[in-house]
Each structure stands twice: as C-alpha cells, then as structure tokens.
Amino acid sequence: MWLLGVPQMKDHTLVLLCSLWAAGSLPAADYYVGPRGRAHALGTHEAPWDLGSALAAGQGITAGDTIYLLEGTYRKRPSELFEVRLQGTAEHPIHVRPAPGQHAKIDGGLSIQSPTTHVWIRDLEVFVSEPLPEKPVSGGSHPRDLNRPHGGLHMYGGRDCKYINLVIHHCNQGISCWKDELNPEIYGCILFGNGWLGEDRGHGHCIYTQNDQGVKTISNCIMTCPHEGSYTVHAYGSDRAYVNNYLLTENICYGQGPFLVGGGRPSHGIRVLRNYLYGIDMTIGYSAPYNEDCEIRDNVVIRGKIETARYRTVTWKDNVIVPSGDLSRAGRIAPVLLPNKYDLNRAHLVIFEWDGTDAVEVQTDGFLDDSDTAELFHPEDPFGFPVAEVVCRNGAIRVPARGEFTVFLVKARRR
C-alpha cells in the first residue's frame, strides 16, 4: 500500500516523518554546481547543476541547504551577473561556497535580488577577465567606450545576508550595496585593482554604498584602489539619498582611495571603529548642512587625517593620527593581528614600522599554537605562493616588515 507516494511503513515512522515535514526541519541537503553543469542534472558532485539556475531559485534550494561550487571558472555572458534569489532563515541560512579544497572563480559577478534572505556567500574569487582599455576612456561614471563587463558584487534587495572572505578584483566596481539591501554583513573581503581611468579621473570604488533602515556592517576587509579619484569606502549620496546606520570596523585600507561616509543629506548612526589606514584620509560627513551622531574610536591613520563635518554629537576616543612628516616622532605602533571569525585558520595582519627593522615580532594571541606555521600572502595575490612562512614560538611569530606599512593575509597551517 502507498500513501501519497510514500511506501507503507510502521505507524511511528510515518508520524515522525510527518512531524518533520510539518516543522520544516527535514535535514539540510548539499548540492553541487559546476562550470559545465546543466539545469536538468541531478545537482550531485558527479552531475552538477549550472550556477545560474541554482542561485536563481530554479532548483528548489531550501533553508539550510548548501550549494557547493566545483573547481573552475563560472562565466555568464553577455548578461554577466548571476542573479541570486534564494531564501533561507535565521536558524537555517543557505550557504554558497566552493567545494572543500577547491577554488571557484566567477568571471563577471553576482546580483543580489529580492526576495533573497539569510544567504551566506563566501570564499569565492570574483573578477573580470576582459582587460581595461590601454588609454583613459571618456570622462564620467558611464562612459560608452568602456567596453567590458561591469563585474563585482551588487546588492539590491537581500535581507540579513553575509558576504564572507570574497576576493573581488579588476571589476569596474568591487561592491555596490544599496538602500534596499537590509542588514548585510560584508566581512573579510579583499578588494583590489577595481575601477578604471577616465580622461577626467579615476572611477569605480572598492565599496559604494547607501543605507537608511537596518545596519550595514563592513568589517575585517582589506581594500586598495589603483586610480586617484576612486574610494576604498564610498558611503555617499546626494541630498536625496540616505547614508545612515553603518558599522565600519577592523578594515585595512591603503594605497589610493579615501575612506568617506557622508553625503548631501544629514546622516545618523555612523560608527567607525578600529580601522587601519595608510596614506589615505578618512572623512566622516560631506556637504549636508548638519549631521546627527557618529562614533570615531580606536582608528589608526598614518600619513593621512580624520575629519568630521558638522556633526551634532561626536564620540571621539583613542584615535591615532600621524600625518605626513617625520614618523619617528610618533612612537611605536604595535602590529595588529585580526583573526577571522568565520575561518579559524585565517587572519589579516597590519604592521606599521618606521624604525628600519626588517622583521617584527607579532603576538598571536591564541590564533596560532606553538609549532603552527603562518603562511603570509600578499593581499593582492591571495591565491599565489606565500611570500614567507614563519613558525609560532612562545606565542609569537617573527614577520618580515617591508618599510613603513606591511599588510598580509595569514593562513594557519596546523602542526
């Protein structure tokens, strides 16, 4: 005898199964996509789906499921961006990540659309393979002669999503995170080489964002821009846009690209804590006639400055600012190791050193145990070979310092 397609079974087994269905607590499933996957495949390791149909909710992905990307490069032309329309829950988010031990690359980008909720996208490489023009293109933000895909990660309508440890490079813009994306967390991402050079100036930013409701969190990222005129953080809008409710913390910014939070409309709820900048300025507030409240605390800015503009309430505490000049007068700044909360084998390390030494001792504070090895990667070559490997001894590692400023991606290799 069959009941709705379910074979006859003992009463208590059927009751348990029905209870699980009613509670929505059936075990989460793992599915696979591949660069040459097909929408009508099984979604297994041996018969993977294509990425587009899986992300666009065409394969019945439900809360708690994981989509594993098999090794290789995923490319969608001419539309370029893979749309995400998945729905997880707070208790059971949907995970999108590479298969264990594999390197998944997206040549193009991702577009996060409503009704996406509680999706965690992590550990992917996102880039555009088409080269930039050899000469500057025409001026403005939308030049017609910039003939290449935009690329990057663009958030238009997600809710409570996390974007973790992404490497985004050589796109026209790294990340766009707009007002209708609510409560995102952008964490541990590395952004470099994004933007283009116009006849007027550089364009494109590491992160361009606006916000009103909820809180946008940007944390533990490494950001740098190749062109003057681009920004590392560009939380900005006209007098018709909103730049409210941000938490920006433990980010490392260097090279070119100022760090801006502010626009033409009054801002509130701005918290900027424990960020580390070298050679660039931090500006909180822009052209608005007034702003409400900001908290600027524990930031370190070397060869730059911090400015706040027309805030009614400013909480300012323990910021270290060393403008250009004789840095030896500033005293010593201890190295900062920032362990990754989503990957226990990963951290970011920033070193400020102007005493001429070629190596610095860094306390690992439990990130590494004695005899563990720290592999140090240049953040603009995170998938290449480590520039150094050092062994933890007595709770510390001795790390090469390369002038006034050094930043590393650190990967732990356990003994």
Query: So where are the chain's domains?
Result: 31-322, 339-413
What pLDDT does residue 99 have? 98
pLDDT at position 9 over 80: no
What's the burial of 327, exposed, middle or buried (CB within 10 Å: 0-12/13-18/19+)?
A: middle
Instruction: State phi, psi for 337 to the nearest 5 degrees.
Output: -105, 125
Contact between 367 and 413 (Cβ < 8 Å):
no
pLDDT at position 192 over 90: yes
pLDDT at position 247 over 50: yes
Contacts of 61 (CB under 8 A, 6+ apart): 31, 54, 67, 86, 94
Q: If pLDDT is split at 50, 70 and 90, which confidence band does 355 have? A: confident
The percent of residues above 90 in pLDDT, for the chain, comes to 89
In this prediction, residues 146-166 reach a mean pLDDT of: 97
**How is residue 309 annotated by DSSP?**
-
Q: Quote the CATH superfamily of domain 31-322.
A: Single-stranded right-handed beta-helix, Pectin lyase-like (2.160.20.10)
Instruction: State phi, psi for 11 to the nearest 5 degrees.
Output: -55, -45
Task: Give the whole-angstrom CA distance, residue 133 versus residue 59.
Answer: 39
- Joined together, the tokens standing for residue 59 give 């394969």
What pLDDT does residue 86 have? 98
What pLDDT does residue 22 have? 42
In this prediction, residues 320-331 reach a mean pLDDT of: 85
What pLDDT does residue 25 have? 56
Q: What is the pLDDT of residues 195-211, one digit of tens each?
A: 999 999 999 999 999 99
Which has the closest alpha carbon to 211: 281, 166, 269?
A: 269
pLDDT at position 18 over 60: no
Mean pLDDT, the chain, whole residue set = 93
Which has the closest alpha carbon to 362: 378, 380, 374?
A: 374
